[in-house]
Chain A
Amino acid sequence: MPRVIVDVMPKPEILDPQGKAVHGALPRLGFNAVTDVRQGKRFELEVDSADEATLAEVHQLAETLLSNPVIEDYSVRVDA
């Protein structure tokens, strides 16, 4: 059964306190190469078929429920 992935990320200009907290913990663990962290969400949607109509529906639900367009961007892709 095909799987559609929806990634939701805070918009670049929106403060991401969770990402900042993760980033702040890295040096304490000895990881010093990372200069910034942004934390988002990944949704895996099982669908009967990843046809055009289904993907259009996924875009719609990503925009209305999975993300809040005021503060987040989303992307949709079919899992290979």
Chain B
Amino acid sequence: MKIGVVTFPGSLDDVDAQRAVRIAGGEPVALWHGDHDLKGVDAVVLPGGFSYGDYLRCGAIARFAPVMTEVVAAAHGGMPVLGICNGFQILCESHLLPGALIRNDHRTFICRDQVLQVENTSTAWTSDYAEGQQITVPLKNGEGGFVADAATLDRIEGEGQVVFRYVDVNPNGSLRDIAGITNERGNVVGLMPHPEHAVEDLTGPGTDGLGLFTSALTSLLARS
């Protein structure tokens, strides 16, 4: 199974995301922001970083990168798409996910190992977790405050579109402690914390993040 990882100018975690795909048992494929080509991949990861220098708004310019035309079309067709950190911001700017990310309420960049609760295990990226399971993955962002109007928040809560919620600490002022969400179909998932940094015991707080990548491979196999 091929999982593409898009590199934008300013992406930081594209190589880590490729490595996570490889450790999970998939075949990572490097995708370039300027290409109109998904190279036949079965799923796409939009990695963390500071695409286009975070100019204008985080993810606002990346949204209009040539490759995003293909990613948006594929997502509407049901392809699993995961956005991590800056990738989450891009998915919100692309209207593939509701809401937006704003500057942390405490105005400082935060970097910590963060406990999350998995609240929806029916998405393409979370099926290998147990509902209610708590996982620890690194979080590092300056603009990670998830916001949406009250009606949107009520709707996504009601539809089970909240996938991850912060436990113990709300690290960035996200409304209702929301760390990650999905679209109605469950194929597009975005989250601020970095599961790709928690796939090996040697270089992270554990391997709790691997489940997102194995889940995608599981859901792709179930489909084929």
A14 within 8 A of B: yes
A68 touches B57 (CB 8 A): yes
Given contact pairs A65-B64, A68-B93, A15 touches B56 in the complex (Cβ within 8 A): no
Q: A15-B105, A15-B145, A68-B60 are in contact. List 14 more A-B contacts (CB 8 A).
A: A10-B102, A14-B147, A17-B102, A20-B107, A21-B107, A65-B56, A65-B64, A66-B56, A68-B93, A68-B100, A70-B98, A70-B147, A71-B100, A71-B147
B22 within 8 A of A: no
Q: Does B99 contact A (CB under 8 A)?
A: yes
Q: Is residue A18 within 8 Å, beta carbon to beta carbon, of the partner chain?
A: yes
**Given A15-B145, A15-B147, A21-B107, residue A71 in contact with residue B102 (CB < 8 A):** yes
In the assembled complex, the CB of B144 is this many whole angstroms from the nearest CB of chain A, namely 12
Given A65-B56, A71-B147: A14 and B102 within 8 A (CB)? Answer: yes
Q: Residues of B contacting A68 with CB < 8 Å?
A: 57, 60, 93, 100
By a beta-carbon cutoff of 8 Å, the part of chain A in contact with chain B is 10, 13-15, 17-18, 20-21, 65-66, 68, 70-71
Note all chain B residues with C-beta closer than 8 A to A66: 56
Q: In the complex, are the beta carbons of A70 and B92 less than 8 A apart? A: yes
User: Is the CB of B211 closer than 8 A to any CB of chain A?
Assistant: no
> A17 is contacted by which of B56, B64, B105 (Cβ under 8 Å)?
B105
CA A18 – CA B104 in complex, angstroms?
Answer: 10
**Which residues from chain A contact B110 at a C-beta distance below 8 Å?**
none
Residue contact A70 to B99, C-beta cutoff 8 Å: yes
- A sample of 18 cross-chain residue pairs with beta-carbon separation below 8 angstroms, ordered by A number, consists of A13-B149, A14-B147, A15-B105, A15-B145, A15-B147, A17-B103, A17-B104, A17-B107, A20-B107, A65-B56, A65-B64, A68-B60, A68-B93, A70-B92, A70-B99, A70-B148, A70-B149, A71-B100
Give min CB distance, A17 to chain B, whole Å.
5
Shortest distance from the beta carbon of B153 to any chain A beta carbon, whole Å:
12
Q: List, in ascending order, chain A residues with CB within 8 A of B92's CB.
A: 70
A42 to chain B, nearest CB (A): 13
Cα-based distance from A71 to B89 in the complex (angstroms): 13
- Contact across chains for B100 and A70 when beta carbons are under 8 A apart: yes
Confirm or deny: B48 has a beta carbon within 8 angstroms of a beta carbon on chain A: no
User: In this assembly, does B173 line the interface, its C-beta being within 8 Å of a C-beta of chain A?
Assistant: yes
Residue among A10, A17, A20, A21 facing the most chain B CB atoms (10 A cut-off):
A17
